[in-house]
Amino acid sequence: MPFEPGEVFGPAPADDLLAFLAEEGHVRQAGDGRWYWSSENFPASEISLRTAAPENVVIIDTSPDRPRVLGEVDLFSAQVLVHEHAIYLHESVQYHVDKLDWGERKAYVHRIDADHYTYANRAVTLKPLDVFAEAPATNGRRIHGEVMVASLVTLYKKLKFGTDENVGWGPVDLPELELQTTAYWLTAEELPTRWRRHELDVALLGAGRAIQTVASVLLMVDPRDLGLVTQVRSPHSEAPTIYLYESVPGGVGLSERLWQRHDELIAGAADLIASCACDAGCPACTGPRLEPDVDTRALSLRLLGELNQTTAVASGAA
């Protein structure tokens, strides 16, 4: 279908982009002003719906009855999805990863029927590179910018369906990867109450997981499209910080939309936790409880209350 003059593509008119593509010989403008594709190559064949990364790992089913290629995953996702002994899910069918040839970018799998799934433990460090937009927020600041993410997977767990009972684990030996992408982050620079460092660490992680869940719903994306990093004292801002970064190189605009909808995120995360029927936090609201004696739910709600514009205004009026 042709583009009309002045037609919007994404957040802005597409005229400048179309003019650039015309210079490259990919499109042409007809006498009526419309833009038409003119290249010999079919553009859709060059675009993957599953990944935006230029380099991928091919997943090969080695089952004797019908060996075939199942699909591809980008390197950043391959760390957690197709490491050796992972359970990979494809079209609701479970596959066991027998071998991951990192050098050849190939994962060899076979079909199984298991009573558990695997969860890879990813250690992530994040460094802000540039700030695109910044604005005040309740007791802090909201920021949108470019970041460098370093990811290292060291082990995986086997968790039973239904109960999430840990029934085993194993090491993962893969190189560290770097991802340059965009992120939205919140710095809590002016919290009105004093926090113990350990309690603030728990609150940041619990609140961050709730914000991550709400963000995926607001943007209608897979939760894995957004990564989470929390820091009690960020080297960049020297303040408690929650980062949500995009899991694709360069980002696709999700973080900018989160920055714009900051107040909805904070209010939605507080509502998610407050409406949950759990006692002290659970995977549905604040994520798995890492310490049974710590009330993650209460600490996360306290932090979100201090960052929530509505709550802060009500407290000030009282």
Tell me, yes or no, whether 275 lies in a domain.
yes
Q: Are residues 137 and 192 in the same domain?
A: yes
End residue of a domain, out of 69, 87, 114 = 114
Task: With H, G, I as helix, E, B as strand and everything else as coil, classify residue 302.
Answer: helix
Q: At what angle do helices 197-219 and 262-274 cross, to 10 degrees?
A: 110
Number of domains in the chain: 2
Confidence at residue 42, expressed as pLDDT on a 0 to 100 scale: 67
What does the pLDDT average to over 119-138?
93
Q: What is the CATH number of the domain that holds 93?
A: 2.40.240
Q: Are residues 257 and 311 in the same domain?
A: yes
Confidence at residue 313, expressed as pLDDT on a 0 to 100 scale: 39
Tell me, yes or no, whether 101 lies in a domain.
yes
316 band by pLDDT with thresholds 50, 70 and 90: very low
143 band by pLDDT with thresholds 50, 70 and 90: very high
Whole-angstrom distance, CA of residue 188 vs CA of residue 142 = 9
Beta strands in the chain (DSSP E): 8-9, 12-13, 27-29, 35-37, 56-61, 68-74, 87-90, 93-101, 106-112, 116-137, 140-160, 166-171, 177-187, 226-231, 241-246
Q: Are residues 109 and 233 in the same domain?
A: no
Boundaries of domain holding 192:
123-151+177-317
Inter-residue contact 218 to 268 (CB < 8 Å): yes
Residue for token digits 């079909």? 111
Q: Are residues 253 and 127 in the same domain?
A: yes
Inter-residue contact 265 to 216 (CB < 8 Å): no
**165 vs 178, residue with greater confidence:** 178
Q: At what angle do helices 309-317 and 262-274 cross, to 10 degrees?
A: 80
pTM higher than 0.85, yes or no? no
Q: Are residues 131 and 101 in the same domain?
A: no
Tell me the two tokens of residue 70.
């199942």
Task: With H, G, I as helix, E, B as strand and everything else as coil, classify residue 238.
Answer: coil
